[in-house]
Structures are given as structure tokens and as C-alpha cells.
Chains A and B, each alone.
Chain A
Amino acid sequence: MQLGKKKLGKKKFGKKKIAGLLSAATCSLLANPVQAEEHDWDIDSAVLYYSEDDDRVDAFEPVISGKKDLGDEEILSFKLVLDSLTGASATGAVPSTQVQTFTRPSGNGTYTVDPNDTPLDDTFKDTRVAFGMNWEKPIDRNNRRTLGFNVSGEYDFTSAAVNALWAHDTNQKNTTYTAGINLEYDYIDPVGGAPEGLTSMDAQDKNDTDDRIIVDLLFGVTQVIDKTSLFQVNLSLSEADGYLTDPYKLVSVVDNITGEPVDQLFENRPDSRSRQSLFGKYKKMFANKDIFTASYRYMTDDWGVDSSTFDFTYRFKFNKGYFIQPHLRWYTQTEADFYNYFLREGERVPSEASADYRLGEMDATTYGFKFGREFDERHVWSVRLERYEQTGESSPSEAFGQLDQQDLYPDVTATIVQFNYSFQW
């Protein structure tokens, strides 16, 4: 009798899917708006030391950046960079079998270069401060917006930029589309004034200041392939207009027979530059928690500079959070249309010419490793040791006379050491 009564009222609702309703109800239960949590800053601090061989450029760069979760997925971040450069940088002038004298950019004083030495301007000392902030906020469940600004200053250059980025998630957040824009204004106040392009160094024909505007557009897709790997593709478009010349760089005019320099002209670059780049990155985490990252970037512009960058890292993870990460990067670029190792006396001077090695044809390899320890996700220290080796055509076919025995594109080699410490504050 009791058994029968027990079966009464045994209604089944097993067909209904309640997990979703339960999940939503639980969210409301456990969300705790009253408890004011202390929001921590996630801080990344780093010190970079870059030193080129042969007494060239040395850079010392401390950086501090921080991120704070304001709650509700609103994130504020900042970055402060201090960049201290010392040493000497190549001006683009060719070496000679004789002693050469160059006027300093300020117009006051000169410096001399020994025979067969690559002319380096040793007044290349500068300190740069850069500061930027970003504010990220969700628009709704699948869309985020980021707004930011960046300012930087050094004694001859000031820059201000604003940026906006929109990120859209779909596919249960497995696919993210991003679109961004960056607007930058640069004000250039070179020491001694901005020289009139392709005029003689001796003439010191200089104006005061100049400026430029740069607009960058970015479109990207990040796709999660599976639980352990993702792929990212970015397309960037950049338009720069205004003063794009380096006011301190020279192009040598050489004697038609001997190849000895007879005049030094200030370089001149076009007043606009249109650049496009395509970037792809693949990241994979293995079962033993090692991480492999490979990326490729192709960049092209209307100056004729085409470049490819290959980058690989592999992080070996050990117990207690220790890791070692070897790194290999290979870069190759073609020279700018107006790149000249030198100009020949008597020939018509082109409207644009530069001998700045950074616009020349070159290959560069960076290799090294990083090692460190991850105490937890937000508490990490690491040390990076790398070597940079850049080579180009030291004896181009157009060399003649004394130029045949000179190195017209010296190798640039450098050592990089960086210490990094991430923590919460």
C-alpha cells in the first residue's frame, strides 16, 4: 500500500534541458557586487641593453608597463619607456684612403675620420622618453573596444599618437576579428635645423623644423585551431606624409676616376611613404607544456623596400616553472629605389637619394635564448641573451677606384641583454 502511494505524483521532467537555466541562476547567486575587491596591477618591468660592436651604438632601455583590471572586463594599461642612446652611428658617407673632416649637425665644430674607416657621427647621443596608455572596455559580450594614446619626446623629435581598436569575437570566442587605426603626428626639430635636401654639408643650408603625419590601419583575424594551438593573420596599411628624411645622414659625391669623396650632400627621401604588410603567426602548446611559435611577415612599400621576416621560438618548460627558450629570427630586405652607396661627380643629382644602411639591401640574423622562471602566470623573471648580425653587399658592382678596396656596407653586429621581471602590485 505504501509502495503504491509512493509512486503517486511521480512526474518526470527529465526531457527538459535545465543546465543552461541553472548556470544562469548560479551566475546571479555567486556574483558578488558588494565585495569591493582590491584590484591589482600586473606590472612588467624590463631593462634592455643593446651594444653594437666596433664602438657603434649603445642603447640602455628601462621599460615599465602595467595593466589593471577595473572590473567587468574593463582594463587600463600603461607603458613608460626610457631610451638612452650613446655611441656613434654610420652617416652613410663612404670611407676614403685619406682623413676626412665632417661638420657636426649643430653646425658648430667638426669631427675627423681616419683613413679607411667608416665615417661615424659620434655626436649621436640621445635620451628618449615615451609614455602611452590604453583603455579597453567591452561593448557587449562579443565586442571590445580599445582607445589609447602615446607620446614620446627626445631633444630633436616629439611625437603624439592616438589609437582605436575594435575586437569582435565569434564562434564561441574561437575566432576574433580586429580592426584598428593609429594616427601619429611627429614634430622634428633637428640640431642645427632640418637641412635642405641634397645640398652640400659645407653650405649648411638649413631650415628650422619640419613635421609629418602617419596613419596606420590594421586588420586581423585570430583563430583558435584547437585547445592547444592558434593562428593569427594581420594586414597592415600605413601612409606617412611629411618630413621623412633623416636630417643627419649624408650621401657622398665621389670623383669619377679615383672614387675619392669630393662632397657630402645631406640625404633626401620622398615626402610620402605607403607601406603594406602581411603577418602570420602560429602558436602551439604541446602535451608537455612546451610552446612553439613561428611567424612570418612580408612588407612592401612604394620606396622599393621589400622585406621578409621569419621568427621562431621554442619554449622548453621544466619543473617548478623554469624554462629555456631559444630564438631565431631571419630578416632580409631589398634596397630602396633611391638608395645609393654614393653619387658620382658630374652626374645629375637625383631628387631623392639616401645612403642610410637601414634602407639598403641586407640580411640580418638574430639568434639567442631566454631563460627564466614562471612562479605563476603573473609572476615571472627572465633573462634574454641574443646576438644580432647584419650583412650587406660590401663591394657592390658599381664600386670603382678606391671604393673597390673599401667596405661600402659594413656588417653591423650587436649583443642584446635583457632582464625582465613581472609581478603584481
Chain B
Amino acid sequence: MATLAPTTDNAETVCFSKRMSQHSLNQLNVTRRGKLWIGQFRCMASPCEILLECGEETLAQELISLAQQEALRIEQKFSRYRDDNLVHRINSCGDCITVDAETARLLDFAQDCYSFSEGWFDITSGILRRAWNFNQHGTIPTQQEIEQLLPHIGWDKITWENPALTVPYGMEIDFGGIGKEYAVDAVLGLLSGKTRNSFMVNFGGDCNASGPMADGSSWMTGIENPHRPGDATAVIQLKNGALATSGDVFKFIRHDGIRYGHILNPRTGWPDTEAPLSITVAAATCTEAGILSTLAMLQGQDAEQFLDQQNIKYWCYR
């Protein structure tokens, strides 16, 4: 009896704390600064912010709440960490699945990116996380461990004929490389359809502004100094358009003096150790900015050259 009671207590506590963490995960904090409304919540393992110019409190609350719900919806639907969503079904089925319109658009997009990047962008490369554990400092995988996974990577091995998707057993699709940026753009699109006021969506530094503020001034956003996390190294004035950052500032392994970042080459399974510390790209949408910054990181020491060739604005730190 004495041993049972603590277990029950423990289970209840676990249950309760899980509910509390769910609650804190879904918690929405709305503050006001003059005519600017700021909604803050956590989503996709990042601090998320909606900044909105609005004269009416009720409307501001409604729009920010809608934004949070949309972000959570996308996270829930496309997260690879859940066992109760569409992505899990796709990855554990091994057989043909009919996907919905939104997933189909993402798969078409992933296919286009795989195609014009000549295989550098590949959403089947997610299984490499089984070899690379960036939460544990110091341990890099062996070449053998990598080579066991490589046969199960490659978009060309997937059968995708809208709306039918077949992911062979042992392979996985992972939207982690574009999920956050896509969510930023989706939330921007959703709010743009409901208000003509200016706002900015900022999910952990990946952001998109709908337009300048009513008095014409820009949204201010900063790029974190990779050498001094917490300090901004550049302040960017954003009128409209998006920024996305790829970087290894926190997720990396240092082994034998060499820094291994978490942006992995899908063909080799290894990161480019000559990659910059962080790249921030400006583009019309967050999705585009995200793809460009990721591809740039994969070019290692040629990152800047690649970005120059694309004729876009970027900030690169080594």
C-alpha cells in the first residue's frame, strides 16, 4: 500500500504537469504598447511573436489568437515528433497514402526544391538525426552509422503523384527544414485576409512583415551575434518581406576542434565544417528566405558566392 500511493501520486503529478506544460505551451500572452499589440506564445520550439497595429482591443485579441491557432495547427500536423499526426502516418505506413491539399502543396514545393537545388534540399534526409544527436556534445557518428542510413535517403525514391504519396518502409519525410518558415508565411496570409492593418509575424527570428506601419516607419528586427548570443549584431528595418536565419549557433557538436553543424548534406550525411556560423537572408517570403539560407549553409566556404549569385540581400557570419 505504501509503495502504491507514491506511484499514484507520481502518475497524477506527471499527468498534471503534462497538462500544465500543455497549458503553458498553449499560453498566449498579449500586451499593448501604444497602438501596437504584441502576442507571444511558444510554438515549434521557438518563442513566437505577432506584432500588430490595431486600434481596437477585441480585434487585436481575435487576430493574435487566430495566428497562434494557425501556428499550433501547422505544428501539430507536420511535426515529426508526434505519433498522432499525418506525418507519422505517412512515415510508418510504407504504403500509398492520399494527402490533403495543403500537404500536397508542401510536397510539390519540396519536389520543386529538390529539383532545382539538384538534390541539395531533400526532405527525406530527416532520418540522419538517428546518427546525429546534437543534444549530446562531443559525439559524432561513425561513417558506418551514416552509411547505414544513406540508402534510405533520397527524394527520387519516393513516389509522389498528387495526391498519392508512397514513402517506402524505412524512409521518412521531414518538414522540419521548412515548417517554421511555412508557418510564418501561412499566418501572414491568414491575417492579411482579415485585416489591412500592418503586422509582423516573428517565429524565433524567422519573420515576415505585411507592410510598413501606418506612419510609414519600419518594423525593427535584429540579427543575433553568433559569437555573443543575446546581443544583436545588426538591426534590420523591415517594411515588408521576410527574413530567415540558418545557423549552428546552438545546435552543433565540437569534436577534435572541428565544429559540426546540424545542417547536413543529404548525399553524404555530413555537415560542411567550413559553413558559416549563421546566415540571414531577406526575401519576399519566409519560405524562400529559409530555403536560400539553408542551401547557402550547405555550400560551406562558398556560401557568400552562392548568395551573391542569387542577387538577394543577406548577412553572413563566420
Q: Are A26 and B288 in contact (CB under 8 A)?
A: yes
* A148 vs B134: C-alpha distance when bound (angstroms): 64
Q: Which chain A residues border B109 with CB–CB below 8 Å? A: 25-26, 28-29
Interface: A108 (CB within 8 A):
no
Q: Which chain B residues border A13 with CB–CB below 8 Å? A: 117-118, 120
Interface: B220 (CB within 8 A):
no
Query: Which residue of chain A lies nearest to B198 when distances are taken between CB atoms in the complex?
Result: A376
Interface: B214 (CB within 8 A):
yes
Query: Which residue of chain B lies nearest to A39 when distances are taken between CB atoms in the complex?
Result: B193
Q: Which of A30-47 contact B (CB under 8 A)?
A: 30, 32, 34-35, 37-38
User: Contacts A13-B118, A34-B101 given; 4 further ones with Cβ under 8 A?
Assistant: A2-B140, A5-B270, A14-B306, A32-B189
Q: Are A12 and B310 in contact (CB under 8 A)?
A: no
> How near does chain A come to B122, taking the closest CB pair, in angstroms?
13
Interface: B108 (CB within 8 A):
yes
* A15 vs B309: C-alpha distance when bound (angstroms): 7
> How near does chain A come to B252, taking the closest CB pair, in angstroms?
15
Q: Which of A1-24 contact B (CB under 8 A)?
A: 1-2, 5-6, 8-19, 21-24
Q: Which chain A residues border B285 with CB–CB below 8 Å? A: 26, 30
Q: What's the A-B contact tally at a CB cutoff of 8 Å?
A: 109
Known: A28-B105, A29-B106. Is A375-B214 also a contact (CB below 8 A)? yes
Interface: B186 (CB within 8 A):
yes
Interface: A378 (CB within 8 A):
yes
Interface: B265 (CB within 8 A):
yes
Q: Are B268 and A25 in contact (CB under 8 A)?
A: no
Q: Are B55 and A319 in contact (CB under 8 A)?
A: no
Query: Which residue of chain A lies nearest to B105 when distances are taken between CB atoms in the complex?
Result: A29
Interface: B297 (CB within 8 A):
no
Q: Which chain A residues border B106 with CB–CB below 8 Å? A: 29
- List chain A positions with a Cβ less than 8 A from chain B: 1-2, 5-6, 8-19, 21-26, 28-30, 32, 34-35, 37-38, 289, 317, 319-321, 374-378, 424
Q: Which chain B residues border A24 with CB–CB below 8 Å? A: 112
Q: Are A9 and B267 in contact (CB under 8 A)?
A: yes
Q: Are A30 and B185 in contact (CB under 8 A)?
A: yes
Interface: B67 (CB within 8 A):
no
Q: Are B113 and A22 in contact (CB under 8 A)?
A: yes
- List chain B positions with a Cβ less than 8 A from chain A: 53, 55, 101, 105-106, 108-109, 112-113, 116-118, 120, 140, 143, 182, 185-186, 189-190, 193-194, 196-198, 214-216, 265, 267-268, 270, 272-273, 283-285, 287-288, 291-292, 295, 299-300, 302, 305-306, 309-312
Instruction: With a 10 A CB-CB cut-off, give which of B198, B215, B305 has the most chain A CB atoms.
Output: B215
* A375 vs B309: C-alpha distance when bound (angstroms): 41
What are the 7 tightest A-B residue pairs by CB atom distance, in nearest-first order?
A: A25-B112, A29-B109, A14-B306, A37-B193, A21-B116, A19-B310, A6-B270
* A15 vs B285: C-alpha distance when bound (angstroms): 23
Query: Which residue of chain B lies nearest to A377 when distances are taken between CB atoms in the complex?
Result: B196
* A96 vs B109: C-alpha distance when bound (angstroms): 85
Q: Are A14 and B113 in contact (CB under 8 A)?
A: no
* A19 vs B306: C-alpha distance when bound (angstroms): 11
Q: Are B197 and A376 in contact (CB under 8 A)?
A: yes
A321's partner among B112, B196, B214 (CB-CB below 8 A) is: B214
> How near does chain A come to B207, taking the closest CB pair, in angstroms?
15
Known: A6-B273, A15-B309, A30-B285. Is A21-B196 also a contact (CB below 8 A)? no
Q: Are B214 and A8 in contact (CB under 8 A)?
A: no
Query: Which residue of chain B lies nearest to A319 when distances are taken between CB atoms in the complex?
Result: B215
Instruction: With a 10 A CB-CB cut-off, give which of A9, A30, A34, A317 has the most chain B CB atoms.
Output: A30
* A37 vs B120: C-alpha distance when bound (angstroms): 36
Q: Which chain B residues border A8 with CB–CB below 8 Å? A: 268
* A38 vs B194: C-alpha distance when bound (angstroms): 8
Q: Which chain B residues border A32 with CB–CB below 8 Å? A: 189
Q: Are A424 and B196 in contact (CB under 8 A)?
A: yes
Known: A34-B101, A376-B197. Is A14-B291 also a contact (CB below 8 A)? no
Q: Which chain A residues border B309 with CB–CB below 8 Å? A: 14-17
Q: Which chain B residues border A30 with CB–CB below 8 Å? A: 185-186, 189, 285, 287
> How near does chain A come to B244, taking the closest CB pair, in angstroms?
12
Query: Which residue of chain A lies nearest to B216 when distances are taken between CB atoms in the complex?
Result: A289
B302's partner among A14, A34, A37 (CB-CB below 8 A) is: A14
Chain A to chain B contacts (Cβ below 8 Å), 12 pairs = A11-B118, A12-B299, A12-B302, A18-B117, A19-B288, A21-B116, A23-B284, A26-B185, A26-B284, A28-B109, A30-B185, A321-B214
Q: Are B284 and A29 in contact (CB under 8 A)?
A: no
Q: Are B311 and A17 in contact (CB under 8 A)?
A: yes
Instruction: With a 10 A CB-CB cut-off, give which of A14, A28, A319 has the most chain B CB atoms.
Output: A14
Q: Which chain B residues border A377 with CB–CB below 8 Å? A: 196
Q: Are B197 and A22 in contact (CB under 8 A)?
A: no
> How near does chain A come to B98, taking the closest CB pair, in angstroms?
16
Query: Which residue of chain A lies nearest to B299 when distances are taken between CB atoms in the complex?
Result: A14
Q: Which chain B residues border A14 with CB–CB below 8 Å? A: 299, 302, 305-306, 309
> How near does chain A come to B131, taking the closest CB pair, in angstroms?
13
Known: A15-B309, A29-B109, A424-B196. Is A22-B288 also a contact (CB below 8 A)? yes
Q: Which chain A residues border B215 with CB–CB below 8 Å? A: 289, 317, 319-321
> How near does chain B come to A290, taking the closest CB pair, in angstroms?
11
* A176 vs B284: C-alpha distance when bound (angstroms): 24
Known: A30-B186, A30-B189, A37-B193. Is A374-B214 also a contact (CB below 8 A)? yes
* A14 vs B272: C-alpha distance when bound (angstroms): 15
Q: Which chain B residues border A11 with CB–CB below 8 Å? A: 118, 267
Q: Which chain A residues border B108 with CB–CB below 8 Å? A: 25, 28-29
Q: Which chain B residues border A34 with CB–CB below 8 Å? A: 101
> How near does chain A come to B272, taking the closest CB pair, in angstroms?
8
Q: Are A6 and B268 in contact (CB under 8 A)?
A: yes
* A21 vs B117: C-alpha distance when bound (angstroms): 10
Q: Are A9 and B265 in contact (CB under 8 A)?
A: yes
> How near does chain B come to A379, taking the closest CB pair, in angstroms?
8
Instruction: With a 10 A CB-CB cut-off, give which of B108, B268, B305 has the most chain A CB atoms.
Output: B268
Query: Which residue of chain A lies nearest to B285 when distances are taken between CB atoms in the complex?
Result: A26
> How near does chain B come to A35, taking the closest CB pair, in angstroms?
7
